[in-house]
Amino acid sequence: MKIGQATIKDIAIELNVSASTVSRALKDYPGISDETKRKVKEVAEKLNYRPNAIALSLRKSRSFTIGVIIPEVVHFFFSTVISGIEEVAYSRGYNVILTQTNEKLSREMSSIDTMLSNQIDGFLVSFSKETTDFDHFSRLLNQGFPIVFFDRVPEIPHAISVMVDDYKGAFDATDHLVSQGYRNIVHLSGPLNLKISRERIRGYESALIKNGLLVNPDYIVECPIGTDHESQKITTKLLKSLPVRPDAFFASNDMAAVGAMLACKAAGLKIPEDVGIVGFSNWQFCTMIDPSLSSVSQPGSKMGAKATDILLDMIEKKLDPESITGPVVLETELLIRKSSVRI
Amino acid sequence: MKIGQATIKDIAIELNVSASTVSRALKDYPGISDETKRKVKEVAEKLNYRPNAIALSLRKSRSFTIGVIIPEVVHFFFSTVISGIEEVAYSRGYNVILTQTNEKLSREMSSIDTMLSNQIDGFLVSFSKETTDFDHFSRLLNQGFPIVFFDRVPEIPHAISVMVDDYKGAFDATDHLVSQGYRNIVHLSGPLNLKISRERIRGYESALIKNGLLVNPDYIVECPIGTDHESQKITTKLLKSLPVRPDAFFASNDMAAVGAMLACKAAGLKIPEDVGIVGFSNWQFCTMIDPSLSSVSQPGSKMGAKATDILLDMIEKKLDPESITGPVVLETELLIRKSSVRI
DNA sequence: ATCGATAACGCAAACGATTGCATTGAAAAA
DNA sequence: TTTTTCAATGCAATCGTTTGCGTTATCGAT
């Protein structure tokens, strides 16, 4: 037994034919006799031949691999997106290589670099919180390199993106809180440089206005990190400092919602009686905590699948990027649980 | 501007030298004049030259890429392992390609296949729940192919593995429950074909015996899926069916622990007064739920880092696999929270 | 017997980088 | 001047596969 994998040449030698014949026989090209095809396939089977994907990549200048760049896998939402991506990619014969940036711009840029030198066929990107300048993406886009952004999408020309309707999700959540009789609703927002954060603020504001309530900027508070710990501290402070005690919290993120919940409990407030709470993303733990947390669910897996389908269509030229004018927007769903129901 | 990346040949043409000279100049080989080196590097910079990793892989029969095979990224524990893996891999100049098996053996095998044809340098594996036969790994091991197993490790010869001390973790958890005065402790175990599940059962039993308590097989119940939903149903049933009502649950998994908690609450039992609960893995939500969940924390990131270091040492022949006799075992830590403290 | 057609296959270049082994030219030694 | 020496560079093969363009051999037609 040889070391390493059998190659086309091994088959060729065994059968005393040329490598080209083997190559063609394996792919059922015309101009090769049935007899030869049979023998070649037989020997290929015997030697457990597997085509060398690297050699193929070099020859075709294609790797059949797509690169995925996300902030962090520990985020439930992103892990569901990954599943959607893998599902579609594998079914269409592509590999996935994944890196997390840990919210660092430097990691984002170096990942792009190494993936490019690995001849990646296209990118699926949700950029880091640090990313405010998009030159490194624009350059690639201008070269016609296939990129699809998801969830965190940039506002630059020619960028193709898949996102959820953050505006509507936030609107629904806030509207729901109002319908439950809550009046002084704080919005714990995400980092303001992310468009999704700004869209959610817009949705929150619209819902207030629609219901004839005032928008008070003091009731919109940024939670840049987004952990429960951070929001717990912020909420505790808010409960003391705000002139009128808030009676509801709509958080841009479930962890932040939990932090608010813990802070309220610690302050002796009952949920949902005294304070209503709604989160965003529908993490697994929403149903595990007490009271269960209402949340806006984002179709993560679907988003990953959709983004991948578009990317692969672009790679395979089945799709003209110019034909896509606006972002693809997926619907959210408000899941009402105990934390926000008191009527 | 040319389409695509600049190659060594482009630099060579621009400077009227041969490709070999460029290659050597870029790597500061001796025998190239400083003048030439300077010019080559200058042009390389100007053309934004990046070595083609695919060509390099083909030439060296090495891809500087390792393949990671895990059951699911949504599991908090695995997502922390991934971070540890990436950290070490990138710092040592390797890429990571990741696939999740979704607990399916067929996916596990096909992933291995495609990664092999991508000339992966080695594998990091935590196998699926369906995997009971390890031939597909044994074959590779016998060929000397570098593989390191983590967390879920097989009991086959020559397999190198990194795991936590599941026995001691379970022992500590159970011992703690006993010390809090709980006497009828149920163990909600993981799938019995996984060694980690069996080790945790052993630890549970040893702790009971050490404290002079009886091991009752009826109090060891398998939760094959491991979701909160499943364990909630199982626990509800147990609370009714067992002759002596359990006063504590030690679950092999935090989600199962939460399920037990919800079932107990639904049955009108107070936690920790009536029932004590301890989980395993220390998911993020442990501190978010009420009461907070005691849990055995596994050093996921450390495990990923350690496994990767060993794998890369094997790949780079810095380490003789024969020199590793037993598994590398990392310590767990029992984090005591409210769900199990009543004294 | 000669020619053309056709089936079946081989040659060699190409993808991009590396590397052992020449080759070149000029300065130093004879 | 001739030979030696060495620095600086080029040639060509290699990794595994694909593919355009030959090259054979065989057979029927003329």
Q: What pLDDT score was predicted for residue A320?
A: 82
pLDDT of residue B161: 96
> CB B113 to CB A50 under 8 A?
yes
Tokens of B270: 């107070």
Enumerate the nucleotides of strand D whose atoms come under 7 Å of any protein CB: 7-12, 14-20
The domain at A166-298+334-340 falls in which architecture? 3-Layer(aba) Sandwich (3.40)
pLDDT tens string A208-263: 999 999 999 999 999 999 999 999 999 999 999 999 999 999 999 999 999 999 99
Distance from CA of A255 to the nearest CA of B (A): 8
- Nearest nt to the CA of B59 via C1' is D15
The rounded distance, in Å, linking the Cα atoms of A227 and B30 is 54
pLDDT at B320 over 60: yes
Contacting residues 153-212/A vs strand C (CB within 7 A): none
Q: Do B117 and A50 touch (CB under 8 A)?
A: yes
Report the pLDDT value the prediction gives residue B31, as an integer from 0 to 100: 84
Per-residue model confidence (pLDDT) at position A24: 95
Does residue A117 lie within 7 Å of nucleic acid chain C, judged by its CB? no
Question: CA–CA separation, A163 vs A152, rounded Å?
Answer: 7
Buried b (16+ CB within 10 A) or exposed e, A180-216: bebebbbbbbbbeebbbbbbbbebbbbbbeeeebeee
Per-residue burial over A272-298, b if 16 or more Cβ lie within 10 Å, else e, is beebbbbbbbbbbbbbbbbbbbbbbbb
Q: What is the pLDDT of residue A3?
A: 53
CA of B47 to C1' of D6 (A): 33
Distance CA B36, CA B150 (A): 49
B286: Cβ contacts below 8 Å, ≥ 6 apart: B254, B279, B292, B293, B294, B295, B335, B337
Contact B76 A80 (CB under 8 A): no
What is the C-alpha to C-alpha distance for residues B155 and B153, in angstroms, rounded to an integer? 7
Report the candidate in B77, B65, B166, B164 with the shortest Cα–Cα distance to residue B124.
B65
Amino acid B302: pLDDT: 98
CB pairs under 8 A between A and B: 127
Rg (C-alpha) for chain A, rounded Å, is 26
The pLDDT of residue A290 is 87
Integer Cα distance of B262 and B188 in angstroms:
14
A100, B82: Cβ pair inside 8 Å?
yes
* Tokens linked to A141: 């886009």
- The rounded distance, in Å, linking the Cα atoms of B267 and B240 is 10
Q: Please report, for chain B, how many H helices and E strands are present, in that order.
A: 12, 12
Domain A64-163+300-329 of CATH type 3.40.50.300: no
Checking if the pLDDT of B1 tops 60, the result is no
Alpha-carbon distances, residue A332 vs A46, B172, B188, B255 (angstroms):
52, 43, 35, 25
Residue whose tokens read 């490709």: B19
B58 touches strand C (CB under 7 A): yes
Nearest-Cα distance to chain A for B129, in Å, is: 18
Question: Is there a contact between B98 and A97 if contact means CB atoms under 8 Å apart?
Answer: yes
Please list every residue in chain A whose beta carbon sits closer than 8 Å to the beta carbon of residue B79: 72-74, 79
Q: What is the mean pLDDT of chain B?
A: 94
**B295 to chain A: which residues are within 8 Å by CB?**
none
Interface touch A3/B143, C-beta < 8 Å: yes
**If you measure CA to CA, which chain B residue comes closest to A285?**
B285
pLDDT at position B18 over 90: yes
**A-interface mutation test, from B8, B90, B118, B292, most A Cβ less than 10 A away:** B118
pLDDT tens by residue, A288-318? 998 999 999 999 999 999 999 999 999 998 8
Q: Give start-end residues of each CATH 3.40.50.2300 domain in chain A.
A: 64-163+300-329, 166-298+334-340
Residues of chain B with CATH 3.40.50.2300: 63-163+300-329, 166-298+334-340
Per-residue pLDDT at A324: 86
Distance B307 CA to D9 C1' (A): 45
Residues with pLDDT less than 70, chain A: 1-4
pLDDT in tens, B59-87: 998 999 999 999 999 999 999 999 999 99
CB B69 within 8 A of CB B124: yes
- Would you call A117 and B55 a contact, using CB atoms and an 8 Å cutoff? no
Span CA (B33) to C1' (C20), Å: 20
What's the angle, vertex CA A258, arms to CA A253 and CA A262, rounded to 5? 150
Query: For B61, left (φ over 0), alpha (ψ -120 to 50), or beta?
Result: left
Q: What is the pLDDT of residue B324?
A: 86
B14 CA → D2 C1’, Å? 39
Q: Has residue B111 got a pLDDT over 80?
A: yes
To the nearest whole Å, the CA of A177 is away from the closest chain B CA by: 22
The CATH 1.10.260.40 portion of chain B extends over 8-51
The CA distance from B99 to B118, in Å, is: 14
Distance from CA of B319 to the nearest CA of A (A): 20
Helix (H) or strand (E) holding B141: helix B135-142
> Apex CA B98: angle with CA A227 and CA B310, to 5°?
95
Does B54 sit within 8 Å of A119, measured CB to CB?
A: yes
Q: Which of A107, A235, A288 to mutate to test the interface with B (most CBs of B within 10 A)?
A: A288
Nucleotide C19, nearest residue via CA and C1': B20
Taking an 8 Å cut-off on Cβ atoms, the answer to whether A288 and B52 are in contact is no
Residue whose CA lies closest to nucleotide C15 C1': A59
CATH of B8-51, one of 1.10.260.40, 3.40.50.150, 2.40.50.40, 3.60.110.10: 1.10.260.40
Q: Do the chains contact at B289 and A290, CB–CB below 8 Å?
A: yes
The nearest CA of chain A is from the CA of B182 a distance in Å of 24
Q: How far apart are CA B2 and CA B6, in angstroms?
A: 8
All residues of chain B having their beta carbon less than 8 Å from the beta carbon of residue A3 are 143
Quick one: tokens of A263? Answer: 């802070």
Residue pointed to by tokens 């509801």: A248
- Nucleotide whose C1' lies closest to the alpha carbon of residue A56: D17
CB-based contact A228 B98, cutoff 8 Å: no
**Do the beta carbons of residue A246 and residue A186 sit within 8 Å?**
yes
Burial, B155: exposed, middle or buried (Cβ in 10 Å; 0-12, 13-18, 19+)? exposed
Check if residue B56 sits with its Cβ under 7 angstroms from strand C: yes
Q: B287 to chain A: which residues are within 8 Å by CB?
A: 228
**What are the tokens at B271?**
């936690």
Whether a cis peptide bond, with omega within 30° of 0, leads into B272 is: yes
- Supply the pLDDT for residue A30: 86
Distance CA A189, CA A209 (A): 18
- Min CA distance, A89 vs chain B (Å)? 11
Q: Which residue from B250, B280, B50 is spatially nearest to B164, judged by alpha carbons?
A: B280
- At the topology level, CATH places domain B63-163+300-329 in Rossmann fold (3.40.50)
Give percent above pLDDT 70 in chain B. 99
